């Protein structure tokens, strides 16, 4: 596991991720953080995001052929709906899934459910 010191860079990346609900990619976070820390590198942002994911503070949303997006774990358990037209990602509050069908002794480390479809905005275009 990567250890990340509590630096100004880490705090700025965490703040940018924490204050948005848009599921940004590293480039967006880099642009936001550069407003406060103009000399921060994109590599530092990537390393910090990886450490936040490894530490359980954030998770990744990955799509083939697209930049990895990041989601700050706001404490509530949620899943995602992904628009197949515009690529928007929406948080969906869903009760925890039943695990009764899992094999005996199976330990769940993570559950991710994604709903794929077309958002209302794209439907009206």
Alpha helix (H) residue ranges in the chain: 8-18, 26-34, 42-54, 120-123
- pLDDT tens series, the chain, 125 aa: 444 567 899 999 999 999 998 899 999 999 999 999 999 999 999 999 999 999 888 989 888 788 999 999 876 678 889 999 998 899 888 776 666 678 888 888 777 888 899 999 999 98
For the chain, domains (ranges, CATH) are 8-72 (1.10.10.10), 79-123 (3.30.1490.190)
Give the C-alpha separation, 87 to 69, whole Å: 11
Give the C-alpha separation, 45 to 10, whole Å: 8
**Are 82 and 44 a contacting pair, CB within 8 Å?**
no
**Are 68 and 28 a contacting pair, CB within 8 Å?**
no
Nearest Cα neighbor of 87 from 19, 31, 23 is: 23
Q: How far is CA 111 from CA 22, 34, 75, 95, in A?
A: 20, 33, 14, 12
Q: What pLDDT is attached to residue 32?
A: 97
């Amino acid at each position: 596991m990567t250890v990340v010191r509590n630096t100004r860079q880490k705090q700025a990346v965490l703040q940018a991720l924490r204050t948005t609900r848009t599921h940004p990619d590293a480039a967006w976070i880099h642009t936001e953080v550069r407003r406060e820390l103009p000399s921060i590198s994109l590599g530092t942002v990537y390393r910090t995001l990886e450490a936040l994911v490894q530490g359980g503070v954030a998770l990744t949303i990955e799509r083939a052929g697209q930049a990895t997006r990041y989601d700050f774990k706001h404490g509530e358990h949620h899943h995602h709906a992904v628009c197949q037209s515009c690529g928007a990602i929406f948080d969906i509050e869903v009760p925890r899934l039943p695990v009764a069908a899992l094999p005996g002794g199976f330990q769940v480390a993570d559950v991710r459910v994604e709903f794929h479809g077309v958002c209302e905005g794209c439907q009206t275009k």
